[in-house]
Amino acid sequence: MATPEEFLEGKVVLIDKPLQWSSFQAVNKVKWSLKKHLGLKKIKVGHAGTLDPLATGLLIVCTGKFTKRISELQGMEKEYTGTFHLGATTPSYDLETEVNATFPTGHIDEKLIHDTLPQFIGEIDQKPPVFSAIKKDGKRLYEHARKGEEVEIATRKTTIHEFEITRIALPEVDFRVVCSKGTYIRSLAYDFGAALNSGAHLTALRRTKIGTFSVEDAISPEAFENRLEDHTA
């Protein structure tokens, strides 16, 4: 474990964000642990890329002078694994909101699923979910959405480097995707369902890699605190 001086100079801490935690909560836990166990009264701590509360996995947390590297780290490609549920959509494109529409799935088989994949590989146009933190007219999109306000959302270019189906157990489909910064996997779920002439929403998501950093090398926020505690005991 690094010294207080090393954390101030700058360290990258790989956190495996738990389900239901916000990225902000995870960063705060790291910051609180550093202050409590290393006696650091003041230290900068930030993360390089938000994960939704309903997602788990790799969160890069930078301390001290390394917070200046956050924008550089945010630009790296990311890998995710997860599950689409076919035959239904939700307003948030995931489990944050209730199902708002159902669609037939009887025509969907493994061949159709695999034949649909190629249209999502390479540069694609994607519309961010209305339940997202992007700002429109000075407010976050999710603030408009929760008030029931209609908002026109522009599509944006994103790149899907790899997209594979790892399990099919209809109505569930598991996937692995490698994509550029700014890709919404929830939108990918929604668009994939529409391309199957049905609907889909995201029911599980885990970020496994950011650039060369892997979740296999990450620890939970509690484990990070325990290591600090053991180190200073």
Q: Which residues are catalytic?
A: 52
End-to-end CA separation in angstroms for the chain: 12
CA gap 92, 171 in Å, rounded: 19
Burial class of residue 91 in the structure, from the number of CB atoms within 10 Å of its CB (0-12 exposed, 13-18 middle, 19+ buried): middle
Measure the CA–CA gap between 11 and 30, rounded to whole angstroms. Answer: 12
Q: How many CB atoms lie within 10 A of CB 13?
A: 23
Do β-strands 172-179 and 156-169 pair in parallel, antiparallel, or remain unpaired? antiparallel
Q: How many Å apart are CA 114 and CA 82, to the nearest integer? A: 16
